[in-house]
Chain A
């Protein structure tokens, strides 16, 4: 299992479109992905789950990947969040 923590830097936080990008990246790896921002943990491949975290700018995401390619997956998701969801306008 690989665990990473990353702060949300973009102004709008983990809003729906950012979450959609997260899910898209997570969906590209076979491992399971769990995400929490506080007590609540959700499926990192679920758009509904992720957006229900209401993770705002400045909050910390805990990403837990378990299974094949977990290291690559965790690194890719970490970079996506740390870079503020590049490519999304008004993120």
Chain B
């Protein structure tokens, strides 16, 4: 088929960076009956709708996002502008349809701005076009299509900068839902391009007619540095592309985030200095003595609080005692519900007390060795009974490390907001080989297709729900697995302190 041939695309470099992925055509869907000639109220409704949509975008992100607030101010100003909305209103009163009237006003404003002969003003013309597209969508009852639950390369005519930010910033600890942007319109001075550059999102503009030439799911390579892309790349194109430079998505900020696995509370601060995205796994087993007894509640709370206090406004995932020493198939992890209920209750209470001492930290209470939703419900009952009432409640997390959990994941995901995948246990339980036994070590092959079948399932299920899913375990530390993990929908990896990006720096 001719359209599957590698096709170079030449546009305008708007924001640097390199990305590879699947295209998603971001075209409004759900067209309603367009309003008829003279319907001024339809314009007023559309303006009000767009204005309302602007407000929460800025506020929801808090004062931290100055850019969005600034942008919303400007767009609000345009929505009240006599030269834009006033002109459209007059055209409707003169008998034009609202859609035509908006188009007419946008075209006139664009011409005025380009006519000034100032590149910044010409870029504002693209912003006005973007707002016009948005008004059209509101007039036509169109909605933005929901993004697929995996990272995409978005293809659109224009994208308002604030919509772009909604789409392109990671949700929670997740990866960017959008890896790069291909636009039919626009240049490097548009608000969209400026904000994309600030956030490291590659953008190519000026790709006229692109939407008509591509389909959802088309493979594409994006070189935002050069303003070039390759549609339907073959092996040769892929090889050449990767020779030129690394993918933007190879970087932790834009693809898999690197979280830290720690064993000591003190390591939480070290992980932060070394640039970890959060604490993926604080293994609390180090607090246990050789017989598996835990320290008193107060001492435990001190230890947990030290870890939490190192991450104000960050996320610290604390795993309940796992007792790995009892063997891979023994009364481990959440099975403490039955074999060590008093110790489990104490640990929950200690975590609750620690949470009160670090109210700005998101504490994820991670349940290990889960095989059934009943276990999570029973744990929730323990939390309800022992968690101090005045402590911020924990975020429920599940460690997916048994084939049972991986294969019957949905009921678990109904109950949690965070997933950690323990690939070491998942592998040894999948192939039935004790990882402590050297006689069967050769069976523990991290490339085993069965393991990856389970991982694919876990990644997709979590991505579908937007639940952050962090892969912890030996394979997560190996860079060669990361692109594959990212493509499966995982949002991060948990690695040891030595594997963090900043570990070689002097401050580490």
Contact = CB atoms under 8 A, between A and B. Distances in A.
A48 B73 contact: no
Contact of B73 (A20, A27, A51, A54): A20
B74 A17 contact: yes
Contacts of B128: 48
Given A16-B124, A54-B121, A89-B66, A48 B74 contact: no
Interface in B73-93: 73-74, 76-78, 80-84, 86
A73 interface: no
Interface of B: 66, 70, 73-74, 76-78, 80-84, 86, 109, 112-113, 116, 118, 121, 124, 128
Interface of A: 16-17, 19-21, 23-24, 27, 43, 45-49, 51-52, 54, 88-89
A20 B75 CA distance: 9
Contact of A47 (B70, B74, B116, B118): B74
A52 B73 contact: no
A48 B118 contact: no
Contacts of A89: 66, 70
Nearest to A16: B74
B80 A48 contact: no
B81 A23 contact: yes
Contacts of A45: 80-82
A52 B78 CA distance: 13
Contact of A23 (B77, B109, B112, B124): B77
A51 B66 contact: no
B77 A20 contact: yes
Contacts of A46: 81-83, 86
B113 A52 contact: yes
A47 B78 contact: yes
Closest 10 CB pairs of A and B: A20-B77, A47-B77, A48-B83, A46-B83, A20-B73, A20-B74, A23-B77, A47-B81, A17-B70, A46-B82
Contacts of B83: 43, 46, 48-49
Given A17-B74, A47-B74, A48-B109, 7 more contacts: A21-B73, A24-B77, A45-B81, A46-B82, A47-B81, A52-B121, A54-B121
